[in-house]
Amino acid sequence: MKVQPKPAKWVTGRRARVLLCASGVSFMIMLDSNIVAVSLPAIARDLNAVFADIEWVVSAYVLTFAALLMPSGALADRFGRRRLLTIGISVFTLASLLCGLAPTAIILNMARALQGVGAAIQLSAALAVLGHEFRGPERAKAFAFWGTVIGIAVGVGPLVGGLITSAFGWRWAFLVNVPFGAALIWLTITAVEESKDPEARRLDLAGILLFGSGLFCLVWALIGANASGWTGQSTLLKLASSLVLLALFVAAELMQQRPMVDFALFRKRTFLGSSVAMLGFAASAQVMMTYLPLYLQTVFGLSPAAAGLGMLPFALPLFFFPRIGAALADRISGRALLALGLAIVALGNFGMAIVVAAQLPYAVVAIGMLVTGCGAGLLNGETAKVSMSVIPPERSGMASGIGGTLRFVGLVTGITGLGAVLTGETERYFARAADGSLLGTAHQTVSRIVAGDIAGVAAQTPEALREAVTELARSSFASGFSIVLLVAGGIATLSALLTIAFVSPIETAPARLHAAPLTATPEMLD
């Protein structure tokens, strides 16, 4: 009897270590983001920070990440992918150490901005390394492995973050990156071969500076609006500066022969529609990875570990539902799948808004979290897939960079915009019921409540009133968060409608339908 030889492994040796390195980089980035979200209330209590400080813990990181994601890819192509990967991991690791040792909120936020710089550089370089190392059918397998690792990070991140914060303190949510980063630097140096793009274009410095500055002014205006007022001179000046800088960015890109962003891509209705879906997904679903842990700890008084466990109904579908989306993609168009995902997100957010406003138990809230997570899982990969379906292969790099940047722009503006809604509504509810002369100004008190420091607020009140103040603070936060969920549901609904309006069902039809010749009809050409 002839023994059949075992099938050879598709990746071994050095290339296996390259795959592990590139996937590990992305795992560290995603894990860090989810760990930090669970740690925000502990950071606020330890550093005596208000909500604006806590917003910057997330926004400073996402802001630099979003601003540098596209140019980082060009840097890697021009100066060497292994070199930039090593630099990116080193910057991220050093910044993590600075975050863990930060004595004040200001220093923490500055270190978080530096961490975003490192994250953008290392992620762009890691993806470029994967694309260079693996070709043909192996590339699909490599990116499938990479996507699975990302899904694991998303699923376990809140739980790991809660356990670390509860057992060792919030500083270890950052310090855990140091040994991890050192191991990845060693893998990069020993396994990754240097590669460059001999035709890499020069850096679009004007575009980088104008886009980054415009986005910074927008986020700065949104975060500071509750303190200075939406019609205050400071807020209006920041918003005007943002508008001018972003308009100059568009003008600068239109004038260049090889721009960082080719706005002609947005003339393709399907690309435009998928970009709207990407923004809506980030601003209505991904943003909840930041706000739900804060809600669970503030309203239900959960420990970081319990809050991390409580995030599982939302996080686990992000790992499982991309597979369901892939199966559905063989039967329905990309337009229908995007609209379905956004509609499910809207349904989950609206449902949670009702139960949060009624202050129902966690078990009921978890149902809404599960629904929103299922919609987010369907959208996570489909948004990028649809946008790439109408882009020529030679433009795929730019289109991918635009998609990633839009996702993080949606996330950072969602965090800051919904944060303004949360603070404003919480303050209105609190001011109607609280005695301002007893608790200080409503704004200062609410800033600490929204940051998750209810214990600190209660500690400053007479002992006889502490229980009542704690209950009022939780009710105020629940009221504010219910409005946040309503707004997020509205964003998802509007994004679904715009997706249906712009994305073509023909261009995004299932692959099996593309195989058969289509006879054009007047209805198809509309």
Report the distance separating Cα 117 and Cα 404, nearest Å: 15
Predicted confidence (pLDDT) at residue 516 exceeds the cutoff of 80:
no
Task: Look at residue 80 and tell me if it is in a domain.
Answer: yes
Contact 419, 290 (CB under 8 A): no
pLDDT tens for residues 200-215?
567 778 888 888 888 8
Contact 286, 277 (CB under 8 A): no
Q: Are residues 239 and 339 in the same domain?
A: no
Residue 393: is it exposed, middle or buried by C-beta count within 10 angstroms (0-12/13-18/19+)?
exposed
**What is the band of 515 on the pLDDT scale with cuts at 50, 70, 90?**
very low
Q: Tell me, what CATH number does 59's domain have?
A: 1.20.1250.20
Q: Are residues 276 and 233 in the same domain?
A: no
Task: Look at residue 86 and tell me if it is in a domain.
Answer: yes
Q: Are residues 299 and 314 in the same domain?
A: yes
Query: For the chain, how many structural domains are there in total?
Result: 3
- Per the model's pLDDT, the better-predicted residue between 87 and 333 turns out to be 87
Q: Write down the pLDDT at residue 453.
A: 73
Q: Write down the pLDDT at residue 3.
A: 52
| Residue-by-residue DSSP string for 283-296 | IIIITHHHHHHHHH
pLDDT tens for residues 417-439?
898 899 888 888 888 776 554 44
Q: Write down the pLDDT at residue 518.
A: 42
Domain C-terminal end among 159, 191, 223: 191
SS3 state of residue 301: coil
Predicted confidence (pLDDT) at residue 172 exceeds the cutoff of 60:
yes
Q: Are residues 154 and 210 in the same domain?
A: no
SS (H, E, C) 65-121: HHHHHHHHHHHHHHHCHHHHHHHHHHHHHHHHHHHHHCCCHHHHHHHHHHHHHHHHH
pLDDT tens for residues 68-88?
877 787 778 778 888 999 999
Task: Look at residue 235 and tell me if it is in a domain.
Answer: yes
Predicted confidence (pLDDT) at residue 526 exceeds the cutoff of 50:
no
Q: Are residues 321 and 268 in the same domain?
A: yes
Q: Are residues 311 and 168 in the same domain?
A: no
What pTM was computed for the model?
Answer: 0.80
Q: Are residues 412 and 278 in the same domain?
A: yes
Q: Write down the pLDDT at residue 92.
A: 95
Task: Look at residue 522 and tell me if it is in a domain.
Answer: no
Mean pLDDT of 310-314: 91
Task: Look at residue 516 and tell me if it is in a domain.
Answer: no
Domain interval for residue 234: 205-259
SS3 state of residue 504: coil
Predicted confidence (pLDDT) at residue 10 exceeds the cutoff of 60:
no
Q: Are residues 125 and 160 in the same domain?
A: yes
Q: Write down the pLDDT at residue 295.
A: 92
- Per the model's pLDDT, the better-predicted residue between 345 and 238 turns out to be 345
Q: Are residues 251 and 268 in the same domain?
A: no
Q: Are residues 251 and 283 in the same domain?
A: no
Q: What angle is formed at CA 245 by the lines to CA 244 and CA 249, rounded to 5 degrees?
A: 115
Task: Look at residue 518 and tell me if it is in a domain.
Answer: no
Predicted confidence (pLDDT) at residue 199 exceeds the cutoff of 80:
no
Amino acid in position 403: G
Counting Cα atoms < 13 Å in the Cβ hemisphere of 490 gives 8
Q: Are residues 29 and 156 in the same domain?
A: yes
Task: Look at residue 446 and tell me if it is in a domain.
Answer: yes
Say what percent of the chain tops pLDDT 70. Answer: 86
Q: Are residues 361 and 233 in the same domain?
A: no
